[in-house]
Amino acid sequence: MGYSILFEILRIANKKGRPRKHGAKFQLNDPSTWSEPVGTLELEDPVWGTIEIKRWNGLHFRNTADIPMEIILIQRKGVKLSIDAAKPVWLACLVEQMPPLEEIWSIYRRRFAIEHWNKFTKQRLHWTVPKFSTPEQGERWSDKHARINLAIMVSP
């Protein structure tokens, strides 16, 4: 078992015994376990080709049954795709208001810039050096160094 197995929210309670926490199994690498998606979009991107986006809601991991999330599948379609290009991308979303699937594709395309920025800032913040005892210490460290980085970037 691992992080590739999720569970649907239990919709019908048991009548006897301890109430169940989990509904049907949703295994990312087994399409036969997937329920019907709540949203599907297929679009043609000039750079990426045919893209299929699917969304499911009300799923959770085994140890976090009280935290429902939305799951997004982004998959490139096409005959001449490399093995890496054909691999599906799964995203877990914990947002109050899910944007439309068209917006999700736009946001996904910008992820490389965001990922590189996050990597850069972690290195600049020296996140690998300190050993924090509490989350508050980590927050103070981040806040202080983020302000320093902004000051460096803004200064002429």
Type of residue at 144 = K
Type of residue at 141 = W
| pLDDT tens digits, one per residue of 62-114 | 777 778 888 899 988 876 777 777 788 888 888 778 888 888 888 888 777 76
> Of 124 and 37, which is predicted with more confidence?
37
> Residue range 135-141: average pLDDT?
80
The residues near 42 (Cβ < 8 Å, ≥ 6 apart) are 50, 51, 52, 53, 77
Where residue 78 falls (left for φ over 0; alpha for ψ -120 to 50; beta otherwise) is left
Residue 39: predicted pLDDT: 92
